[in-house]
């Protein structure tokens, strides 16, 4: 039994209009379930954006194009629309308020989408779970509660990419059935990181929590072994407003700061791509810190994510 009652009535996920991505004829051996980041930025909307909110749907399409596509060629990509916390309201909310809101209508919708997916669409295929930012927060809720109640689904999960929101030691202690990734090819694990520049150390960030745990998306180590830029298969910068990725002539390096619990890109040339500068919103410095690469958590390591998903899928089929 689930610990909390559901809030509100979920959308009808048998209606294709409630799916951002719904493959008609899945042709890959594995699936991906993607939960988009904060896409509703509507000053006229309430704390929770409705399922048909135009701002959310347009934003979700844009983020799908620059993040979920990292898994193109590896998996059949499914992505439900789901009600989420309005991004305009997030900076004014405490962690507890955000958490309570995400356990309300967003949880209702995501659980209903998963029920429909597993009962009607999955057909027994192994799958990845992936999210970014607020989408990753919902992934953590799913892993802690929904998957605990559905071990028959959980045992088919290759890995969960919960990027852009902290996986913490406290969360793992509270959920011993959830394991953090330790290498490039371990299975049934959570792959997580937040990306910053060194100048962000010590600065408050909405997405970096005490006890945060990251894996290096280039060398797939969990210690402070640095990964040179030469290991990066391609660094991109997103334009979330235009669904476009631009490949940079330079590549991001990566090194974990164990004390901070984040992945540091040490080259100062990347500071122009801090989320506040990329989106032209200086106020975001107070939300994420002055050199947060939150908008680039996926895109700085886009092709390495794709390669890693393929590696994990191959590892899955070697033992199943």
What CATH code is carried by the domain that includes residue 140? Answer: 3.40.50
Note whether residue 91 is domain-resident. yes
Does 240 score more than 70 pLDDT?
no
**Could you tell me the pTM of the whole model?**
0.96
How many domains are contained in the chain? 1
Burial of 26 (0-12, 13-18, 19+ CB in 10 A): middle
φ, ψ of residue 54 to 5 degrees: the values are -65, -40
Note whether residue 227 is domain-resident. no
- The fraction of the chain above a pLDDT of 90, given in percent, is 80
Note whether residue 242 is domain-resident. no
Contacts of 60 (CB under 8 A, 6+ apart): 20, 36, 39, 79, 81
Report the alpha-carbon distance of residue 234 to residue 190 in Å, rounded. Answer: 23
Q: Which domain holds residue 119?
A: 16-200+210-215+302-319
Give the pLDDT band of residue 81 (cuts 50, 70, 90).
Answer: very high
Give the pLDDT band of residue 65 (cuts 50, 70, 90).
Answer: very high
Note whether residue 170 is domain-resident. yes
pLDDT the model gives residue 241: 63
Note whether residue 184 is domain-resident. yes
pLDDT the model gives residue 143: 98
Residue that the structure tokens 């899955």 belong to: 316
Note whether residue 171 is domain-resident. yes
Note whether residue 245 is domain-resident. no
Give the pLDDT band of residue 266 (cuts 50, 70, 90).
Answer: very high
Phi-psi region of 110 (alpha: psi -120 to 50; beta: other; left: phi over 0): alpha
> Which CA distances in Å does 52 have to 14, 44, 85, 225?
16, 14, 14, 45
Note whether residue 247 is domain-resident. no
């Amino acid at each position: 039994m689930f610990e909390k009652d559901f809030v509100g009535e979920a959308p009808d996920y048998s209606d294709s209009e409630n799916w951002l991505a719904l493959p008609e004829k899945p042709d890959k051996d594995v699936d991906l379930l993607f939960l988009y980041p904060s896409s509703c930025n509507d000053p006229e909307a309430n704390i929770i954006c409705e399922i048909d909110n135009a701002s959310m749907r347009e934003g979700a399409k844009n983020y799908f194009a620059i993040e979920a596509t990292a898994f193109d060629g590896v998996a059949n990509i499914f992505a439900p629309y789901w009600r989420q916390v309005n991004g305009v309201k997030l900076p004014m909310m405490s962690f507890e308020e955000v958490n309570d809101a995400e356990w309300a209508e967003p949880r209702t919708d995501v659980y209903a989408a998963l029920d429909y997916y597993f009962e009607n669409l999955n057909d027994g295929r192994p799958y990845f779970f992936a999210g970014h930012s607020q989408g990753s927060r919902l992934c953590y809720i799913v892993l802690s509660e929904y998957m605990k109640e559905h071990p028959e689904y959980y045992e088919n999960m290759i890995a969960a990419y919960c990027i852009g929101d902290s996986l913490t030691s406290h969360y793992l202690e509270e959920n011993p059935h959830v394991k953090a990734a330790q290498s490039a090819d371990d299975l049934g694990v959570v792959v997580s990181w937040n990306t910053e520049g060194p100048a962000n150390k010590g600065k408050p960030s909405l997405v970096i929590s005490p006890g945060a745990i990251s894996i290096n998306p280039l060398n797939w180590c969990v210690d402070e072994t640095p990964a040179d830029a030469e290991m990066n298969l391609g660094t991109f910068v997103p334009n979330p407003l235009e669904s476009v990725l631009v490949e940079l002539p330079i590549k991001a390096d990566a090194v974990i700061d164990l004390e901070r619990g984040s992945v540091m890109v040490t080259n100062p040339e990347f500071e122009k791509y801090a989320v506040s500068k990329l989106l032209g919103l200086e106020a975001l410095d107070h939300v994420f810190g002055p050199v947060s690469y939150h908008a680039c958590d996926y895109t700085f390591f886009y092709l390495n994510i794709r390669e890693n998903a393929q590696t994990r899928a191959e590892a899955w089929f070697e033992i199943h």
